[in-house]
Amino acid sequence: MTSLLVTGGAGFIGSNFVHWALQHTDASVVVLDALTYAGNPANLAGLPRERFELVAGSVTTPGLVNELVEAADAVVHFAAESHNDNSLEGPGAFIDTNILGTYHVLQAVRQFGRRLHHISTDEVYGELALGTAERFTPESPYDPSSPYSASKAASDHLVRAWVRSFGVEATISNSSNNYGPRQHVEKFIPRQITNLIDGIRPKLYGTGENVRDWIHVDDHNAAVWEILQKGRSGETYLIGADGERSNKEVVELILQLMGHGADWYDHVNDRPGHDLRYAIDATKLREELGWEPRYTVFSEGLEDTITWYEDNEAWWRPMKAATEERYAARGQ
Ligand code: NAD
Ligand code: DAU
């Protein structure tokens, strides 16, 4: 049985990965998570004790990281500050966790000779023009726009340097926008779903023409597992499922699925530096590792996600008011 250390496993994608891995593989999992505003032990409730443990602590604490890395066969590093808007308000935590935290994880896997998979984002490549067919590939130049994406770009460069200079065995994945259950209500899709449950109009930044490339979190995590098993050390794999949609299209679909008219939304202040478009070419992942997405009809994945938020109000209600207060203060 493989024993995995999953950093950031109490957050959105990490917790879905832990559930996925315990269900689909015979791995045992230790989660290291600082339980910030984005980390919730409830995300990991009910998992089998003999195969799962949650350790509360930070990837910026080297002694703890070393101890847990030594005890594991492999590390999947999700831990990060993940929200662009927060990085514009206060970049410091992004530098600490995303850059310094990754440095400590790298030093530990180097010391103990453990395999690392580093979770990153397509945002490191900057933006694509609207209305073109151009997509990101593993060869795209780095050109991050926000403090968040710059900190993730820095972490990718550290991983590449530790592979080349110290022979660390590591892979990197850069994914497009994930959606699914247990995503914080600060993020676009859960914010609009929970707004509608509360009778509030969805909020579109700027014109709403910006495009994101949506992938269901289970498809993302199945790809991560394939990379962990079969990926070549030093390689970068882009994860995406051909899910390009403008924000306006997504809001209109959510409105339709939740029984509202297509124009029942507000335009609000745009995000400074707002990237226009992301799109992933996942050919390498598909052809080299044989991965295929299962959620190929976006409206179906979105419908399941809406149902999850309707059924789990106790999960998101405690974070909703404070999140909306922060948006309101910025006219968003
Ligand atoms: P999230 O904000 O929901 O979860 C992040 C988790 O990391 C939380 O549980 C938080 O408590 C934990 N954490 C934060 N600081 C920590 C620290 N110092 N030490 C240990 N744990 C800490 O984020 P997410 O959306 O699940 O993203 C997970 C990873 O995936 C991130 O690395 C992010 O950059 C990457 N990513 C996210 C997306 C997306 O669409 N959400 C897409 C591509 C890549
Ligand atoms: O591309 C991968 C990235 O996707 C990840 O690296 C990030 O961790 C993740 O947060 C996500 O970043 P985005 O900035 O694309 O996601 P967000 O959910 O914040 O916003 C998605 C789009 O919707 C973006 O164009 C901004 C817009 N938006 C967002 C909110 C919260 C709105 O129009 N209205 C909103 O209320």
Q: Is 83 in the pocket of ligand 2 (CB under 6 A)?
A: yes
Alpha-carbon torsion (170, 171, 177, 183), positive or negative: negative
pLDDT tens sequence across 187-236: 999 999 999 999 999 999 999 999 999 999 999 999 999 999 999 999 99
CATH assignment at residue 268: 3.90.25.10
Catalytic residue among 33, 81, 123, 244: 123
Selection from 149, 122, 156, 75 nearest residue 238 by Cα = 122
* Mean pLDDT of the 293-318 span: 98
Indicate whether 310 and 224 sit together in one domain: no
253-258 mean pLDDT: 98
1-5, 15-19, 212-216, 226-230: range with lowest mean pLDDT? 1-5
Q: Indicate the pLDDT class of residue 89, thresholds 50, 70 and 90.
A: very high
| Atom in ligand 1 nearest the alpha carbon of residue 101 | 18
Report the mean per-residue pLDDT for the chain: 98
Regarding the beta carbon of 179 and ligand 1, being less than 6 Å apart is answered no
- For residue 129, give the CATH number of its domain: 3.40.50.720
Whose alpha carbon is nearest atom 29 of ligand 2?
188
Catalytic-residue membership of 235? no
30 falls within a domain: yes
Mutation test of ligand 1: which of 12, 20, 82 has the most ligand atoms closer than 8 Å to its C-beta?
Answer: 82
pLDDT at residue 323 tops 70: yes
Range of 199's domain?
Answer: 188-211+243-274+286-323
Q: Summarize the confidence of residues 307-322 as an average pLDDT.
A: 98
- Asked if the structure places residue 331 within a domain, the reply is no
Residues in the chain: 332
Q: For ligand 2, atom 30, which residue shows the shortest CA distance?
A: 188
Measure the CA–CA gap between 18 and 30, rounded to whole angstroms.
Answer: 9
Give domain status of residue 279, yes or no: no
pLDDT of residue 71: 98
Q: Are residues 197 and 235 in the same domain?
A: no
Q: Tell me how far the alpha carbon of residue 79 lies from the centroid of ligand 1, in angstroms.
A: 5
Ligand 1 centre to CA of 185 (Å) is: 14
6 pLDDT above the threshold of 70:
yes
Average pLDDT on 297-307 reads: 98
Per the structure, the count of domains in the chain is 2
Q: Is 33 in the pocket of ligand 2 (CB under 6 A)?
A: no
The answer to whether residue 205 is catalytic is no
Catalytic one among 33, 122, 127, 252? 122
What is the number of the ligand closest to the CA of 195? 2
- Return d(Cα 231, Cα 117) in angstroms, integer: 9
Q: What is the 3-state secondary structure (H, E, C) of 118-143?
A: EEEEHHHHCCECCCCCCCECCCCCCC
Is the confidence at residue 303, as pLDDT, over 70? Answer: yes
Active site residue 127: no
Closest CA to 224 of 82, 17, 41: 17
Query: Is there an atom of ligand 2 within 6 Å of 201 CB?
Result: no
CA–CA separation, 114 vs 109, rounded Å? 5
The pLDDT, as a whole number, for residue 165 is 98
- Domain for residue 330, yes or no? no
Residue 2 CA to ligand 1 centre (angstroms): 23
Ligand with an atom nearest the CA of residue 200: 2
From ligand 2's centre to the CA of 209, what distance in Å? 13
86 and 231 both lie in a single domain: yes
Does any domain span residue 192?
yes
Q: What is the pLDDT of residues 100-118, one digit of tens each?
A: 999 999 999 999 999 999 9
Q: What global pTM score does this model have?
A: 0.98
**Catalytic residue of the set 103, 148, 179, 278:** 148
Task: Tell me, using a 6 A CB cutoff, whether residue 187 lines ligand 2.
Answer: yes
What is the residue with the minimal CA distance to atom 28 of ligand 1? 78
- What b-and-e string marks burial along 167-191, b requiring 16 or more CB atoms within 10 Å of the CB? ebbbbbbbbbbbbbbbbbbbbbbbb
Long-range contacts from 322-327, C-beta under 8 angstroms, 24+ separation: 323/184, 323/185, 323/186, 323/191, 326/89, 326/186, 327/191, 327/203, 327/268
- Quick one: pLDDT at residue 1? 63
Are 204 and 221 in the same domain? no
Tokens matching residue 214: 């949506």
